[in-house]
């Protein structure tokens, strides 16, 4: 027997045990069995030598009395020195939220049955009735031209309708007069409103997102809940929340706004309270708000409520009429007139009873904001992007079929097909992702990492979809007016990129930075062990996490290499014949992510948080894995419809390409170059293989958007498509079936016309000649006349008298110099 065989047994047994994540004792037993066979076959000396190596490796690791003092205690000492100290705000941000399926992705071996076993998201009968009734009616009231150009606001009747039908109280429980909707119901409402107007969706979304309502529900005193929640639900109070200021944007913890505990006058009495000085901007609904939520840093220099001088970030409620509160003039964000503006105050006094949660919650504002943001960020912005993207897919497909150039529907041109495919695929992903985060909230999760993924990727995809949509509709999107398609959405698309955490920061710092610690199966446990002042307890806690972590890392390296060598074509996976291959590929990418996470954290330690490019790329891997999980989960819940295969395939191949691109960039630019070189053959033994969706797949996706079918109908669910005077997109969609039915007649007529010697005539005369010559019948003539009418409506744009384009304010002050004040 070759002397190499025992060593080969050692390696293969280790690889087998690592792949299947067997315990160390099992690996030792399997290896011993193989070595015994080698010994019996004559490789006595080599087998004995290898057995000795196995014994030396396993005994210290299997016996706690040896392992802890020999290995764990020194490791704890090293970690305490190596780990950077975490500030209170960093610790709160890292620990905020719960861990859902994203934790499985960080394990490197996701349990897909856990994902597929989550309950299918379902609306209640009450929520569906609200969508079919009040939401549908509100959509019919939307006139984008009137809102954006004429009023620069929602008209009064829309404000009244929103308040009367409790749109501001969707998340408020029924016992306080609200609708008590689920997160899924909330998502569906915002999605439908966004498909017709982002101004309306943001107006409705903000009171139901991070703001006084949500904060009061979770942290308010009973007295605060009893007073404010019914008033918010009924629209008697319009809320806003003031967090951002000139010197504290994404870095919200550095807010300079402050409050000093002191005594002052309130409603004629001398009471203990806070004197506030603040300067906030970009506050949605501030110009019309009656109750202002405020974040500030609270100080108690005289010790009036305790011994702590710097109490920390605290939240309060300020009635608009409070003396000293100044609600500034309106901001005008990218020509989108949703109510937004600054709020300021100097030495504004309020009693301690106006603190959200009372004095007991003073100093807990950062905790409260992080927890509520994880929930609120899961809904409004992702749902808005989803609604706009779905609208673009459905209406863009119909327009591309109806609009003709060079005798062909423009959707038949490959360049347009590419854009349509991107729109359809991204709309499919965005709708699945936004639904998945809402479902996570309904399961009781506080999805801080998934909400960051959904916010970043849905809004980014929404902006990309808006750009592609404008390329397709051309002048129909460029020329603003009542007939415009998509122009306002394109103008406003960067707004969502900047709010609730700028997208650049969310990608490069938050998604992976928070996810790698909060969602990793061992990192948080190891960090807590290192920070435990009790050394014995720290050793015990670290011992329970460190060695499983090492085994997990070895397993991920083995799995990464195995899946790379085999192309992830071997291994058990759920799903049907179509989706099983996707799950296997995702097993590979999850192992890659977990491996690079461990190597990055181990090699860079605390310096990793400053390696934003690396963090962003690994965040991209996590994000696309999570998005694919959401897409496959929804596909499973819907019964794996055959008609959706092309959309699912586009989504998978796009994400797979993005994952491999991010992994390759992370390795090529790894801060410690030799580690990047060593990891490359483990992650990419055959090189990077994934490619973007191909032309044939893009063609199939584009075609599915340009004709009625099941997949298109599912994509259109939740979009306002009622054909009415104020909804040109709905009218265009309603024309699609008629336009397709008329195409054979149109081709026949145009072919005959081209072959004839008839001189150029107007369209009516051409039809007259066609009937006389027998090219078309009288009924077919009517069909072509209807096709011409609907085509003209689909492609027509507006023109205006100069006075119509001047604002009402300009007309009223035409004789006076226009003055503007620079915002402070």
> Annotated active-site positions, please?
500
Distance (Å, rounded) from C-alpha 650 to C-alpha 461?
A: 14
Alpha helices (H) along 84-221: 88-95, 102-107, 112-117, 125-130, 136-141, 144-145, 156-164, 183-194, 198-205, 212-219
Given the structure tokens 């991070």, which residue do they identify? 210
CB-based contact 183:445 (threshold 8 Å): no
Given the structure tokens 């319009």, which residue do they identify? 238
Distance (Å, rounded) from C-alpha 183 to C-alpha 6?
A: 58
CB-based contact 295:252 (threshold 8 Å): yes
Does residue 214 sit in helix, strand or coil? helix
Distance (Å, rounded) from C-alpha 657 to C-alpha 650?
A: 11
Q: Strand pairing of 340-351 and 269-284? A: antiparallel
Distance (Å, rounded) from C-alpha 672 to C-alpha 680?
A: 13
Alpha helices (H) along 684-727: 695-705, 710-716
Distance (Å, rounded) from C-alpha 573 to C-alpha 586?
A: 10
- SS3 string, 384-438, reads HHHHHHHHHHHHHHHHHHHCEECCEEHHHCHHHHHHHHHHHHHHHHHHHHHHHHH
CB-based contact 410:398 (threshold 8 Å): no
CB-based contact 456:464 (threshold 8 Å): no
CB-based contact 279:824 (threshold 8 Å): yes
- Nearest in space to 318 (alpha carbons), one of 284, 278, 270, 361: 278
Distance (Å, rounded) from C-alpha 207 to C-alpha 232?
A: 9
- SS3 string, 2-29, reads CCHHHHHHHHHHHHHHHHHCCCHHHHHH
CA distance to 171, 617, 635, per residue, from 711 (Å):
31, 32, 11
Point out which residues pair with 265 in neighbouring strands: 270
Sign of CA dihedral 227, 230, 236, 237: positive
For the record, the structure tokens of 565 come out as 């060598």
């Amino acid at each position: 027997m070759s002397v190499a065989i025992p060593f080969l047994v050692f390696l293969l047994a280790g690889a087998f045990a690592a792949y299947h994540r067997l315990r160390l004792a099992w690996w030792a037993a399997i290896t011993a069995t193989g070595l015994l066979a080698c010994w019996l076959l004559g490789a006595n000396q080599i087998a004995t030598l290898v057995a000795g190596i196995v014994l030396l490796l396993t005994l210290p690791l299997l016996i706690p009395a040896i392992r802890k003092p020999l290995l764990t205690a020194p490791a704890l000492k090293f970690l305490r020195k190596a780990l950077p100290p975490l500030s209170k705000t960093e610790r709160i941000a890292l620990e905020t939220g719960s861990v859902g399926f994203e934790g499985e992705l960080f394990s490197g071996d996701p349990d897909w049955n856990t994902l597929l076993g989550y309950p299918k998201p379902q609306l209640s009968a009450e929520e569906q009735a609200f969508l079919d009734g009040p939401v549908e009616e509100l959509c019919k009231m939307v006139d984008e031209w009137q809102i954006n150009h004429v009023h620069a606001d929602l008209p009064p009747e829309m404000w009244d309708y929103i308040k009367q039908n409790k749109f501001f109280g969707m998340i408020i429980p029924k016992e306080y007069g609200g609708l008590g909707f689920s997160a899924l119901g909330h998502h569906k409402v915002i999605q439908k409103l966004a498909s017709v107007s982002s101004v309306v969706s943001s107006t409705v979304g903000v009171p139901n997102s991070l703001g006084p309502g949500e904060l009061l529900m979770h942290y308010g005193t009973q007295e605060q809940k009893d007073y404010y929640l019914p008033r918010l639900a009924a629209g008697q109070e319009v809320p806003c929340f003031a967090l951002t200021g000139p010197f504290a944007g994404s870095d919200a913890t550095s807010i300079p706004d402050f409050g000093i505990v002191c005594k002052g006058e309130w409603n004629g009495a001398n009471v203990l309270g806070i004197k506030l000085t603040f300067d906030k901007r970009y506050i949605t609904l501030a110009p019309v708000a009656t109750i202002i939520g405020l974040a500030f840093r609270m100080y108690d220099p005289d010790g009036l409520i305790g011994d702590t001088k710097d109490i920390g970030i605290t939240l309060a409620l300020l009635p608009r009429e409070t003396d000293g509160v100044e609600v500034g003039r309106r901001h005008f964000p990218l020509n989108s007139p949703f109510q937004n503006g600054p709020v300021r105050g100097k030495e504004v006094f309020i009693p301690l009873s106006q603190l959200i949660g009372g004095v007991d919650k003073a100093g807990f504002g950062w905790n409260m904001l992080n927890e509520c943001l994880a929930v609120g960020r899961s809904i409004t912005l992702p749902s808005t992007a989803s609604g706009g993207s779905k609208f673009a897919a459905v209406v863009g497909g119909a327009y591309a079929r109806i609009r003709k150039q060079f005798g062909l529907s423009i959707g038949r041109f490959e360049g347009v097909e590419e854009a349509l495919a991107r729109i359809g695929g991204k709309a499919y992903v965005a709708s699945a992702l936004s639904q998945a985060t809402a479902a996570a909230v309904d399961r009781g999760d506080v999805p801080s990492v998934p909400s960051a993924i959904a916010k970043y990727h849905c809004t980014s995809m929404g902006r990309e979809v808006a750009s592609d949509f404008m390329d397709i509709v051309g002048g129909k999107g460029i020329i603003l007016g009542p007939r415009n398609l998509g122009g306002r959405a394109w103008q406003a698309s960067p707004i969502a990129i900047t709010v609730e955490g700028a997208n650049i920061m969310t990608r490069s710092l938050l998604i992976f930075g928070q996810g790698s610690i909060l969602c990793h199966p061992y990192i948080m446990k190891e960090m807590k062990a290192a920070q435990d002042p009790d050394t014995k307890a720290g050793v015990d806690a670290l011992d329970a996490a460190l060695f499983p972590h090492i085994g997990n890392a070895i397993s991920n390296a083995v799995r990464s290499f195995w899946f790379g060598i085999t192309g992830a074509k071997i291994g058990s996976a759920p799903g049907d014949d179509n989706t099983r291959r996707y799950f296997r590929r995702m097993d590979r990418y999850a192992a890659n992510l977990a491996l690079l996470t461990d190597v990055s954290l181990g090699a860079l330690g605390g310096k990793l948080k400053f390696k934003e490019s690396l963090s962003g790329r690994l965040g991209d891997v996590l994000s696309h894995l999570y998005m694919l999980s959401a897409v496959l989960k929804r596909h499973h819940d819907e019964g794996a419809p055959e008609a959706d295969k092309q959309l699912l395939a586009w989504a998978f191949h796009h994400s797979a390409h993005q994952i491999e691109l991010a992994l390759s960039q992370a390795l090529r630019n790894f801060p410690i170059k030799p580690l990047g070189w060593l990891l490359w053959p483990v992650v990419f033994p055959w090189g990077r293989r994934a490619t973007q969706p191909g032309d044939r797949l893009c063609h199939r996706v584009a075609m599915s958007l340009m004709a009625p079918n099941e997949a298109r109908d599912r994509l259109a669910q939740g979009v306002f498509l009622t054909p009415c005077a104020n909804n040109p997109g709905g009218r265009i969609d309603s024309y699609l079936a008629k336009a397709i039915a008329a195409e054979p007649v149109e081709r026949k007529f145009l072919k005959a016309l081209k072959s004839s010697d008839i001189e150029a005539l107007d369209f009516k005369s051409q039809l007259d000649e066609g009937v006389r010559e027998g090219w078309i019948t009288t009924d077919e003539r009517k069909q072509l006349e209807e096709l011409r009418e609907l085509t003209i409506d689909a492609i027509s744009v507006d023109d205006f008298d100069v006075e119509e384009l001047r604002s009402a304010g300009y007309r009223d002050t035409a004789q006076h110099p226009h003055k503007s004040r620079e915002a402070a």
